[in-house]
A and B are shown apart, each in its own frame.
Chain A
Amino acid sequence: MYKYNDFDEAFVRERVAQFSAQVARRIDGSLTEEEFRPLRLMNGLYLQLHAYMLRVAIPYGTLNSGQMDQLAHIAETYDRGYGHFTTRQNIQYNWPKLPDVPAILSDLADVEMHAIQTSGNTIRNVTADHFAGAAADEVADPRPVAELVRQWSTDHPEFQFLPRKFKIAVSGAKADRAVIKAHDIGLYLREQDGEIGAQIIVGGGLGRTPMVGKVLKDFVSLADLLPYLEATVSVWNLLGRRDNKYKARIKITVHEHGIEDIRARVEERFAQVKPLFGGIDLAMLEEIKAAFAPPAFREAATDAYDRAYATDAVFRAWADTNLSTHRAPGYAIATVSIKTPGQTPGDASADQMRVLAQLARDYGHDELRISHEQNVILPHVHKSDLPVIHAALKEAGLAAANIGLVSDIIACPGMDYCALATARSIPVAQGIATRFDELKLEHEIGPLKIKISGCINACGHHHVGHIGILGLDRAGVENYQITLGGDGTEDMVIGERTGPGFAYDEIIPAIERILATYLELREAPEETFLEAYRRLGMAPFKDALYPPKEEKANAA
């Protein structure tokens, strides 16, 4: 893992000191709220419905055990004993008090973490494939590039007052697990003629105007990558619509100008900025790469795993859903579900965080990952250790065998916490998960991604859910629109709306009708919901959701 150098350390400490003074000046009245607000947002501090919320970056979703322990300590000392992992690979604390925030930031700095640029019109926390460095289908580990981008974008003088926020994601694998095409810039690392470089995707995004990112350049070598990114952000920084917040994101700029025009401008700008980099970026990348060298994988027998798999049905069910193929023989990637049916998706208690930290220390080469799907990953575990790990997870209430299934739901905080929300998300997720757990249909239904957002900004990625749910305020009542057929992979598709929305107490039965229709009409159990939807189209699901009037009358 990357270790802060003296510069990083000094920079983060200085920001803590600055913000501590700013908080003090706000409390003693020397700063007005108007003056203070941009300062607190630069440090990830929001004011939400019931309290402040501190958003802490987990760069490219990577944590070590010491950092996870510190997140637990913060949750217990300054908050309500838990934290909420988000779709942006951040952790949010929902109940900090303003006077405590400087101490929290100082505690974070102690473990090389911060909340810088987790808000505001800046380049935000860089996200990556949560299986980075572990996945069998990986061409290159995306984390060195992501870390380079983090260093370049942090406090970048040209990019502190962008037209709007800017999100960059990196994947180095064949399968896209990082929703690359829904980012302002997405990078697919690739190999071409023996050289690693990136395909640059630009102008993707969800929100009120969802768009699939477009290819800006098919291959940019690592030597040209930072100058190329700088050129792209720089072009948008000048062109971006500062007159209209809703048209300010780069997806609109690309849409309005056309990809060819943007590409020509970026090439022109690239020619200007490339000479300014002078190779320092590559020297830094080499240093960073060394920090992400793979751990010393051990060679051992997997008998303990094989035995548990053969004899323990509960372990087998967990292994079948929560394990993914690792690049090293004898190893597995274990995804720990923090979505036990009925729980709030993405929430982990301080105790659970400590259990995860301990497992990483004892069995996981000290590494943890947070996925955009709001789960925690032990990326490097030897299979022989899995029975012990599973037992510890069971004890901590973390052994739900539901990864990729109906109860593995993404949900934004919604109106239970968020000041922007128009409806609740969390209880809808809890309700769906609990209902299908009761019906014991989860494994029968198979792979399914349900994603819920509590407003049009789409933090819950509803547009790319196989089933997407969007909570709105319709004449003072919560109302939920459904979209079907969304896909967040490399073949990204924006889901299609079924029709009118459903009231709060109608939404779970509506999801049940959709899935009953799928079970009835699928060709075989192997045909997933998404495949069945693609074959059948919207019509049968629409019929199930909106029965003709006479039927309704008869039913009544």
Chain B
Amino acid sequence: MPRPFTPKAITANALLEGDVIYLDDNGQWVRDLRQARAFTEAEVADAALAEAAKDGMVVGAYLTDIKLGENGPEPTHFREEFRRTGPSNYFHGKQEAEAHV
């Protein structure tokens, strides 16, 4: 029996700022994981990644495991938790940007 597919999001870094970005339902890059498109089928995810990786304004696109939370996708691994938050020694990065909203 094939292993069940863990839902995925597509993530990368923005070329100019280097900031962590995610692909949303409309094929746009957004800065918040909760707005990312959740892929539940492997073939669809792979095809979307191949397409997204062609975008010259992003770097290092890859599929990352997610779980579906109340407010949208959430990370399953601590590395992705840091990527969506920022460093723990200063209030810099996404956590800071969010505080300004």
Contacts and interface: CB of A to CB of B under 8 A. Distances in A.
Interface of A: 26-27, 29, 32-33, 47-52, 80, 94-95, 97-99, 344, 347, 415-417, 424, 426-427, 430, 473, 476-478
A81 to B, nearest CB: 10
A341 to B, nearest CB: 13
B76 A417 contact: no
A104 to B, nearest CB: 14
Contacts of B77: 476
B5 interface: no
24 contacts: A26-B15, A29-B56, A33-B60, A48-B18, A49-B83, A50-B86, A50-B92, A50-B93, A51-B17, A51-B18, A80-B92, A97-B16, A98-B15, A99-B16, A344-B89, A344-B90, A347-B89, A415-B79, A415-B82, A416-B82, A416-B88, A417-B87, A427-B88, A478-B78
B30 to A, nearest CB: 16
Contact of B20 (A50, A95, A424): A50
Q: Which 10 A-B pairs have the closest CB atoms?
A: A416-B87, A51-B18, A52-B18, A50-B93, A426-B89, A344-B89, A29-B56, A427-B88, A98-B16, A97-B17
B20 A49 contact: yes
Contacts of A424: 82, 88
B59 interface: yes
A70 to B, nearest CB: 22
Interface string B12-42: 0101111110000000000000000000000
Nearest to B56: A29
A415 B77 CA distance: 12
A344 B91 CA distance: 13
A477 B90 contact: no
B18 A50 contact: yes
Contacts of B88: 416, 424, 426-427
B67 to A, nearest CB: 12
Interface residues of B, number: 24
A47 B89 contact: no
Contacts of A29: 56
A417 B79 CA distance: 10
Interface of B: 13, 15-20, 56, 59-60, 76-79, 82-83, 86-90, 92-94
Contacts of B13: 47, 51
A27 B18 contact: no
Nearest to A504: B78
A84 to B, nearest CB: 10
Nearest to B65: A476
B78 A476 contact: yes
A51 B20 CA distance: 8
Nearest to B61: A33
Given A49-B82, A416-B88, A476-B76, A97 B56 contact: no
Given A33-B59, A416-B88, A50 B19 contact: yes
Contacts of A48: 18
Contacts of A27: 15-16
A477 B19 CA distance: 24
A416 B18 contact: no
A97 B17 CA distance: 5
Nearest to A411: B89
A313 B83 CA distance: 45
B14 to A, nearest CB: 9
